[in-house]
Amino acid sequence: MTLLQVRDLVKHYQAGRFFRGTTPPIRAVQGVSFDVETGETLALVGESGCGKSSVGRTVLRLQEPTAGSAVFEGSDLFSLDRTALRRMRRRMQIIFQDPYSSLNPRMTIGSAIAEGIEIHRLAKGKEVGRRVGALLEEVGLDPGYAGRYPHEFSGGQRQRIGIARALAVEPRFIVCDEPVSALDVSVQAQVLNLLADLQRERGLSYLFIAHDLAVVRQIARRVAVMYLGKIVEEGETEALLRQPRHPYTVALLSAVPEPDPRRQRSRIVLTGDLPSPSNPPPGCPFHPRCFHPRRDRRCRSEIPALRPVGATRAACHYAETTPSPETA
C-alpha cells in the first residue's frame, strides 16, 4: 500500500532576499516523483548538493515547496493549513545527520524526547516520564540517562536519542537524512540494525537519504538515485546494484569498496564537479561528466525521460548499452 506519493516536486531557492528575481534561482529539486510503500524503505542516493535533503525537508514541509504534490495517507500535504499541518507532524518525523547539532545542548535528553509528547498532549504527569524511559529502552539506552545532557553522550548514542525523540510522537513515516554518515562504520551498523528493528516492530516507512550505496544495500528495498535535482535511476535495490543502467549509478557503484579482493572491478572517477544547480546544463544533466561511449549530440540537447530499462527505470537515452561496472 502506498503511504506517501510525491509527484513532480520542485524546490527552488531564491538567493538574495533584497533583490528578488535578479539572480537565477537555485534549482535544488526539479520535478521529482516517487512512492513510499507502507512498512518499506525507499533510499534516496546522490552526492552532496544533488537535492536529496531538500526533497526530505520539503516533503515534511520544513520548507515550502515551489511546485508539485505530496499525498500522505490520503491527504495532500502541500495544501494543509497550519493547524492541520501541526496535527500531521505526529505522523511524519525526521532524523538528522549531525548527531552533535541535532540535540539542544541546554536540554536534558529526557526533556528533548518528551517535547513531542508535550506538544501533542499524548500523556500527562508521571506518564510522560514513563514513556521517555520506555523510548530510551527501545533505542537501546538506559532509561536512567533521561536527566543527562547531550554532551555526555557519544555520536552513536546521540543518534539513538534523536531516533527516540522522533518515535515519541508515534509516527508512521520517518525521513532519515543521512543518519549514519557522520558515524564510525561499526556504529553505523548498530544504528542501521536499530532502524531495521524499529521498522519491523512498528511498521514504519522510511525515506532514507544517503550518499553511500553500501549503507543503502543494508536497509532499503528500493533505491532512487538523484543527480542535480532529478531522479536518474530507480528500482529494486538488488536489481539496481546488480545491473545499473544509468552511467551515474555505475560511477556511484564503482565507488563502493569491493570486499572480495579476487573480483576485479575498475574504478570510475568522474571528472569535473557537480554543475551549478542555478545554471544546469541543457539536455541530460549528467552529460558534461558522462563516460558512456555512445554519448552524442542528443545528450546535449534532449532531456532523457525516466523509462523502464531491464529491471529498473533509468533516465538515459542509451541506457540499454550502459557499460557495466566490471567492463567500464
Closest CB to other proteins among 105 and 125?
A: 105
C-alpha cell at 291: 563516460
CB nearer to other proteins: give 20 or 307: 20
Here the contacts of 299-307 (C-beta below 8 Å, separation 24 or greater) are 306/231, 306/232, 306/233, 306/234
Residues 264 and 271: beta-carbon distance below 8 Å: no
Shortest distance, position 12 Cβ to other proteins, whole Å: 17
Q: Which three cell numbers stand for residue 263?
A: 573480483
Closest CB to other proteins among residues 106, 263: 106
Measured from the CB atom, the residue of 18 and 269 that comes closer to other proteins is 18
Q: Minimum Å distance from CB 175 to other proteins?
A: 8
Minimum CB–partner distance for residue 93 and other proteins (Å): 6
Nearest CB to other proteins, comparing residues 68 and 116: 116
d(CA 125, CA 283): 60
Spell out a b/e string for 178-205, using b for 16 or more CB atoms within 10 Å of the CB, else e: bbbebbeeebbebbbebbeebbeeeebb
Report in angstroms how near the CB of residue 256 gets to other proteins at its nearest.
27
In terms of CB distance, is 101 or 324 closer to other proteins?
Answer: 101
**Smallest separation (angstroms) from other proteins to the CB of 182:** 11
Minimum distance between the CB of residue 47 and other proteins, rounded to whole angstroms? Answer: 21
Residues that bind other proteins (CB under 8 A): 17-18, 57, 60, 62, 85-87, 89-90, 92-94, 96-98, 101-107, 112, 115-116, 119-120, 149, 151, 162, 165-166, 169
Say if strands 230-236 and 205-210 run parallel, antiparallel, or are unpaired. Answer: unpaired
DSSP string, 152-188: GS-HHHHHHHHHHHHHTT--SEEEEESTTTTS-HHHH
The cell for 150 is 547531550
